């Protein structure tokens, strides 16, 4: 597994890097022998506490990213907290993944493109009902795509989509509902999770 440990505006000693690498390998290998990479970034918050952020690619081919963070006045303890959170998520995800594989059988996935567009200036949710209206108000015509990347729209249960939403720490998950074979969407709405169920068949 490829592990990259780096510091943001701080210098990391060999001992700390070795500690993190050995700890990550020991914990991750317990759940995913095929995990392909981990990126660890340590920074200093206001010159006081150390903040450790870890991102792990689980290597299952589902595009799942496991995240964990820790903060403490001691750099080693900060890293230990982040690794512990990663391990907790991996343990929960691994259990869910095993159950999911048992019940899912062969499910079809669909290719899609994720595009990110710039937001028109002065866009206010209280006064503008849509992106198109905001674009018209600001003479925002034919926006250029900021980024574009292929994604896989998987077939899964709603509970699995919610789990993936939490693990990826993302805002939304587009998926095919395994019960209805229709396009569904789950997304974060404040402290809650919203579920959009359509009647649009995937095929």
User: pLDDT by residue for the chain (203 residues), tens digit each?
Assistant: 788 898 988 888 999 999 999 998 888 777 766 566 788 999 988 778 999 999 887 555 455 677 889 999 999 999 999 999 888 887 877 776 666 555 555 456 666 676 666 665 554 545 555 556 655 665 555 556 667 777 778 888 898 888 878 766 678 889 999 888 899 999 988 878 899 999 888 76
3-class secondary-structure state, position 130: coil
Domains, in order of start, for the chain: 2-94 (3.30.160.100), 110-201 (3.30.505.50)
Q: Which among 203, 151, 147 is positioned nearest to 177, based on CA atoms?
A: 203
- Please give the backbone phi and psi of residue 11, each rounded to the nearest 5 degrees, phi first: -100, 130
CA distance 7 to 20: 13
- If phi over 0 gives left and psi between -120 and 50 gives alpha, with beta otherwise, what is residue 63? left
Its pTM stands at: 0.50
CA distance 203 to 184: 14
């Amino acid at each position: 597994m490829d592990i990259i440990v780096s510091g943001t505006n701080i210098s990391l000693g060999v001992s700390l890097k070795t500690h993190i690498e050995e700890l990550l390998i020991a914990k991750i290998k317990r759940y995913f022998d095929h995990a392909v990479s981990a990126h660890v970034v340590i920074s200093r918050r206001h010159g006081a506490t150390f903040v450790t952020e870890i991102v792990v690619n689980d290597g299952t081919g589902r595009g799942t990213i496991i995240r964990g963070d820790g903060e403490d006045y001691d750099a080693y303890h900060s890293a230990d907290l982040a690794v512990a959170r990663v391990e907790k998520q991996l343990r929960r995800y691994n259990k869910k993944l095993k159950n999911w594989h048992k019940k899912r059988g062969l499910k079809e996935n669909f290719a899609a493109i994720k595009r990110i567009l710039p937001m028109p200036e002065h866009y206010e949710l209280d006064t503008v009902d849509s992106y198109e209206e905001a674009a018209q108000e600001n003479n925002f015509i034919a926006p250029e795509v900021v980024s574009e990347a292929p994604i896989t729209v998987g077939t899964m249960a709603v509970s699995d989509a919610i789990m993936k939403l939490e693990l990826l720490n993302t805002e939304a998950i587009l998926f095919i509902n395994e019960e209805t074979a229709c396009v569904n969407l789950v997304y974060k709405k404040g402290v809650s999770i919203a579920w959009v169920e359509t009647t649009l068949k995937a095929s």
